[in-house]
Amino acid sequence: MQFIEANGARIPAIGLGTWELRGRSCARIVEQAIKLGYRHIDTAQVYENEREVGEGLRASGVRRDELFIATKIWTTHFAPHDLERSAKESLVRLRLSEVDLLLLHWPNPHVPLVETLGALAHAKTLGLARHVGVSNFTVALLDEAVALSPAPLVCNQIEYHPYLDQTKVRKACARHGIAVVAYSPIARGKIKSDATLARIGQVHGKTPAQICLRWLVQQDAVVIPRTSRVERLSENIGVFDFALSDDEMAEVFRMGGADGRMTNYAFAPKWD
């Protein structure tokens, strides 16, 4: 496993995404992932699976200090006291004393950012989280957040895959020493039938998903692909034994556009 270092955090470059994984199958896939070498698990309050993620962690038998667990505070808990209370509730569900990374899931313009960031930093001071960060922050919001946050922000978790050009926000993250955590990194499964990725994959004896994930980690992005299938766990982590050439990297970069989003954000807040 490789690690990405950002503002004091050491983040395993591949994590297991858990959105839409529920119940016993969620606990089982988390357990299997860790047994296969995953060390980073990404959950969120709004996924309603923190309890099962915690079960999977414990069932894996791997020591807590070898694991990197991230969860996200939902936008309805951004007022300072709500944030602290809901972070503690997440820890109760996960049955952990702290998470490694606590994120603001989406920006919420109805609560002053300075207050939410103060509360997030306070959660860190209380020992509820080792590191803090944000998700779905635009360049302007990220600049504002970095200026306002009493605690260093270690990542911005954003949708990022070959169909979506994220150059601007990636540059902003680099400027602040903040890691990009790429969500929906295999475009919600769409890349499996991509002709360009398949052709590059033939050269390396790799699948389109592996080419896609390699392209991301080779840019020093953290990736959190989600699968419900045990056989795909190994596939998605098998990206450290080969490298893409500069030409191959450039070819995949050319696939990206500004309107390549995959997610319809059914649960995302609508602000206007």
Ligand X SMILES: NC(=O)c1ccc[n+]([C@@H]2O[C@H](COP(=O)([O-])OP(=O)(O)OC[C@H]3O[C@@H](n4cnc5c(N)ncnc54)[C@H](OP(=O)(O)O)[C@@H]3O)[C@@H](O)[C@H]2O)c1
**CB-nearer residue toward ligand X: 152 or 225:** 225
CB of 136 to ligand X, least distance (A): 5
Structure-block tokens of residue 55: 């079960």
Region 205-224 residues binding ligand X, contact defined as CB under 6 A: 209, 224
CB of 257 to ligand X, least distance (A): 17
Cα–Cα distance, 143 to 205 (Å, whole number): 41
Site string for ligand X, 3-42 (x = CB under 6 A): --------------xxx----------------------x
- 236 near ligand X (CB under 6 A): yes
**CB-nearer residue toward ligand X: 146 or 186:** 186
- The end-to-end CA distance of the chain, in Å, is 42
Interface with ligand X (CB under 6 A), residue from 80, 107, 201, 225 = 225
CB of 72 to ligand X, least distance (A): 6
Q: Is 47 a catalytic site residue?
A: yes
Cα–Cα distance, 226 to 207 (Å, whole number): 16
Cα–Cα distance, 257 to 166 (Å, whole number): 9
Site string for ligand X, 92-111 (x = CB under 6 A): -------------x------
- 192 near ligand X (CB under 6 A): yes
Sign for the CA dihedral angle at 233, 254, 268, 178 comes to positive
Contact 154, 132 (CB under 8 A): yes
H-state helical runs in the chain: 23-35, 50-60, 80-94, 113-125, 139-148, 167-175, 195-204, 208-217, 230-237, 246-253
**CB-nearer residue toward ligand X: 244 or 247:** 244
For 5-29, letters b (16+ CB in 10 Å) and e give: ebbebebbbbbbbbbebeeeebbbb
Cα–Cα distance, 135 to 144 (Å, whole number): 14
Site string for ligand X, 135-154 (x = CB under 6 A): xx------------------
Backbone angles phi, psi at 73, to 5 degrees: -85, 130
Region 159-188 residues binding ligand X, contact defined as CB under 6 A: 183-188
- 49 near ligand X (CB under 6 A): no
Structure-block tokens of residue 208: 């389109």
Instruction: Pick the catalytic residue from 38, 47, 160, 183.
Output: 47
- 189 near ligand X (CB under 6 A): yes
Catalytic residues: 47
Q: Which residues bind ligand X (CB under 6 A)?
A: 17-19, 42, 105, 135-136, 157, 183-189, 192, 209, 224-229, 232, 235-236, 263
